[in-house]
Amino acid sequence: MDAHTPETTPSGMLHGMPVACLLGYGEPRLAAAGIEVLDPRRVCLVGVRSFESGEAALLEGLGVRVFRMREVGRRGLAEVMDEALAISGGGAGGYGVSLDLDAIDPRDAPGVGIAVTGGIRAADLSRALAHLAHEPSFVALEIAEYNPHLDRGGATARLIEDIVLSLLAPARPRLALAA
């Protein structure tokens, strides 16, 4: 969830706090960096598998929509993404996607710091994100958690390339990802 505050973090590491900071909570040095606070009613987390209770309590209290991985498995990623886009895309300034690569199943994205089985399959993710290329409200993509030292055979790098190209150059033929 990356929604820890200094009061809830077991590690004290800043990389566990960006969502909380973007919502106006968390590490004061980051909050003082002049970032604009996001409306929690327009924030969605998709594919959440692991988190601590402090993070969940903050997000629930703020009204952030969290789609845990078991819900994604039950409903399908396309349906969940449609709902997430309906929630996040209603703002005046557009929306962005922050793709934390460790949400992807390590069979498809081994080049991450913390690989946890049971994540989103790469082919499903690529299909779900591809239609954003034609959405005028889609204004930003962030890709986080790539670790090239753990990327066996460059699989994760190729996945990143496929996702970026599908968003920026949708007419270009993309890699065939395993289902």
Query: What DSSP string describes 138-152?
Result: EEEEEEE-B-GGG-G
Question: What percent of the chain has pLDDT above 70?
Answer: 91
pLDDT (tens digit per residue) in 63-106: 999 999 999 999 999 999 999 999 988 667 788 899 999 899 99
- What integer pLDDT is reported at residue 18 of this predicted model? 87
Helix, strand, coil distribution of the chain in percent, nearest 5: 45, 15, 40
Which pLDDT score is estimated for 127? 87
Residue 38 has pLDDT above 70, yes or no: yes
Instruction: Assess contact for 49 and 68: CB atoms under 8 A.
Output: yes
Residue of 102, 105, 63, 65 whose CA lies nearest to 81: 65
The pTM for the full model equals 0.86
State the pLDDT at residue 35. Answer: 73
Cα–Cα distance for residue pair 115/60, rounded to 1 Å: 26
134-172 per-position pLDDT tens digit: 888 888 899 999 999 999 899 999 999 999 988 877 665
Higher pLDDT among residues 178 and 70, named by residue: 70
